[in-house]
């Protein structure tokens, strides 16, 4: 599963009034940037001999990594168990199950470490009870970031030799750390800005309720090295949703993670008052199909955030 469109960029100037190039990572079979890390982690385990026929892969995921690993596992003949939580979209769960994966949904968050802590505890329990289970542990697995060091970073550098600023969303921080390590070595003048969700503990903020899966964590990822990051922007979920709706009004159906990254990038560029000719790139991790019943659903928005975010759109009528 190496197929990925690596050179698709959108200039958001016409839509957003600010030049920001969006690297669209959703145009692969998994629909998100996670396919790169999933392929890298599985290949590395095969190389070391830890992953052999008959082994069952297991991973904690809020959605996109689970879909990516479902595809990689199916293509290589492995059984895969995904431990997710109630925030995972129904579309993502159905995709995993259709691909042959077993999906466990955690419905109660840990009082201190949230849904992620509860998911990790469930993974540990399953591994203890099943000797043939292999936990990839994307939060501490070097393959999560080396995949992007080998691919995503070089792809951006090839397209933008004069890059000034790169915005990367922070989830497990694999994409962030891979790109940060690459540019620190090859173009240290590039400013690396991490975009995180409000309520995430990744960069030391207080935990808060989060309903949109993707960016942010309840447990700080072991692979994160904050010294590689020049700045951090935190984005509220309401700003994420408003940005998704703003983008879709211009024909761009992106996922929640992308809405967060774009919102954070534009606010950072405005706050820092950079010249108009600044070359800025943001990584768009996902597309919007998985979010049609959440971020783009008026009833879900009303139930989750109240009527202030409800943005009625024309309905298709039967004729």
Is the pLDDT confidence value at 293 over 80?
A: yes
Is 98 among the domain residues? yes
Q: What is the pLDDT of residue 52?
A: 92
For the stretch 79-127, pLDDT in tens is 999 999 998 999 999 999 999 999 999 999 898 888 989 999 999 999 9
pLDDT for 275 equals: 86
Does the pLDDT of residue 21 top 70, yes or no? yes
Q: pLDDT band at residue 4, thresholds of 50, 70 and 90?
A: low
pLDDT at 6: 67
Residue 262 lies in a domain: yes
**What dihedral do alpha carbons 61, 62, 68, 69 form, nearest 10°?**
20
Query: For the chain, what is the domain count?
Result: 2
Mean pLDDT of 238-252: 96
Q: Which of 132, 135, 39, 57 is nearest to 101 (CA)?
A: 57
- Residue 312 included in any domain: no
Residues 23 and 38 in one domain: no
The reply to whether 150 and 89 lie within a common domain is: no
Residue 112 CB coordination number (10 Å): 9
Residue that finishes a domain, picked among 115, 135, 155: 135
Q: Note down the domain range covering 168.
A: 9-29+144-305
Block residue for tokens 């990254």: 261
120 and 243 share a domain? no
Q: Is the pLDDT of residue 1 over 50?
A: no
Asked if residue 259 and residue 196 are part of one domain, the reply reads yes
Cross-sheet strand order for the sheet of 231-235 = 9-11, 21-24, 280-284, 165-169, 191-197, 231-235
Tell me which of 93, 116, 135 is where a domain ends: 135
Round to whole Å and give the CA distance between 201 and 193.
17
**Is 189 a residue whose pLDDT tops 50?**
yes
Rounded to an integer, what distance in angstroms lies between the CA atom of residue 35 and that of residue 286?
11
Q: How many secondary structure helices (H) and strands (E) does the chain include?
A: 11, 10
pLDDT of residue 273: 87
Give the whole-number percent of the chain exceeding pLDDT 90: 82
Q: Is the pLDDT of residue 236 over 70?
A: yes
Torsion of CA 166, 39, 99, 253, to 10 degrees: 10
**Which residue, of 135, 153, 170, is where some domain finishes?**
135
288 in the same domain as 267: yes
Helix (H, G, I), strand (E, B) or coil at 48: helix
Residues 57 and 185 in one domain: no
**Are residues 125 and 260 located together in one domain of the fold?**
no
pTM of the model: 0.91
Same domain as 165, residue 24: yes
Can you tell me the mean pLDDT for 191-207? 94
Mean pLDDT computed over every residue of the chain: 92
pLDDT at residue 153, rounded to an integer:
97
Which range is least confidently modeled, 5-9, 213-217, 286-290? 5-9
Same-domain status, 20 and 42: no
Answer for the pair 257, 295: CB distance below 8 angstroms, yes or no.
no
For 166, the 3-state DSSP assignment is: strand
Distance between CA atoms of 298 and 80, rounded to whole angstroms?
A: 34
The residue-averaged pLDDT of 15-42 equals 94
Q: Span 46-51, mean pLDDT? A: 94
Q: Is residue 251 part of a domain?
A: yes
Checking if the pLDDT of 133 tops 60, the result is yes
Whether residue 310 lies inside any domain: the answer is no
Question: Quick one: pLDDT at residue 218?
Answer: 85
Residue 315 lies in a domain: no
Instruction: Provide the pLDDT confidence category of residue 319 given band limits of 50, 70 and 90.
Output: very low
Is the Cβ–Cβ distance between 116 and 60 less than 8 Å?
Answer: yes
Query: Quick one: 284 and 159 in the same domain?
Result: yes
Whether the pLDDT of residue 316 is over 90: the answer is: no
C-alpha–C-alpha distance, residues 142 and 86, integer Å: 28
Is residue 1 included in any domain, yes or no? no
Which domain CATH number covers 51? Answer: 3.40.50.1100
220 and 283 part of one domain: yes
Strands (E) located in 153-290: 165-169, 191-197, 231-235, 280-284
Is 85 in the same domain as 233? no
314: in domain: no
């Amino acid at each position: 599963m190496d197929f990925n469109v690596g050179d698709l960029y959108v200039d958001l100037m016409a839509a957003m009034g600010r030049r920001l190039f969006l690297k669209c990572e959703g145009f692969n079979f998994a629909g998100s940037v996670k396919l790169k890390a999933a392929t890298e982690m599985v290949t590395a385990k095969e190389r070391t001999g830890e992953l052999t026929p008959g082994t069952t892969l297991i991973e904690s995921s809020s959605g996109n990594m689970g879909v990516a690993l479902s595809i990689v596992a199916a293509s290589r003949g492995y059984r895969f168990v995904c431990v997710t939580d109630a925030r995972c979209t129904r579309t993502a769960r159905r995709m995993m199950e259709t691909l042959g994966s077993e999906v466990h949904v955690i419905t109660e968050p840990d009082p201190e470490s949230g849904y992620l802590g509860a998911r990790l505890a469930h993974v540990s329990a399953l591994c203890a009870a099943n000797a043939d289970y292999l936990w990839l542990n994307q939060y501490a697995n070097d393959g999560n970031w080396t995949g992007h060091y080998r691919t995503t970073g070089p792809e951006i550098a090839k397209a933008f030799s004069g890059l000034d600023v790169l915005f990367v969303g922070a989830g497990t921080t694999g994409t962030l750390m891979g790109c940060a390590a690459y540019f620190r070595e090859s173009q240290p003048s590039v400013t690396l800005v991490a975009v995180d969700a409000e309520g995430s503990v990744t960069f030391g903020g207080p935990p808060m309720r989060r309903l949109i899966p993707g960016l942010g964590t309840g447990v700080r990822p072991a692979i994160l090295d904050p010294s590689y990051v020049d700045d951090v922007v935190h984005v509220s979920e309401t700003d994420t949703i408003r940005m998704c709706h703003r983008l879709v009004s211009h024909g761009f159906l992106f996922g929640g993670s992308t809405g967060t990254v774009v919102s954070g990038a534009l606010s950072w560029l405005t706050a820092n008052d950079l010249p108009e000719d600044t070359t800025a790139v943001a990584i768009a991790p996902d597309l919007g199909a998985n979010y049609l019943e959440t971020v783009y659903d008026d009833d879900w928005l009303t139930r989750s955030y109240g009527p202030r975010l409800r943005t009625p759109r024309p309905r298709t009528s039967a004729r």
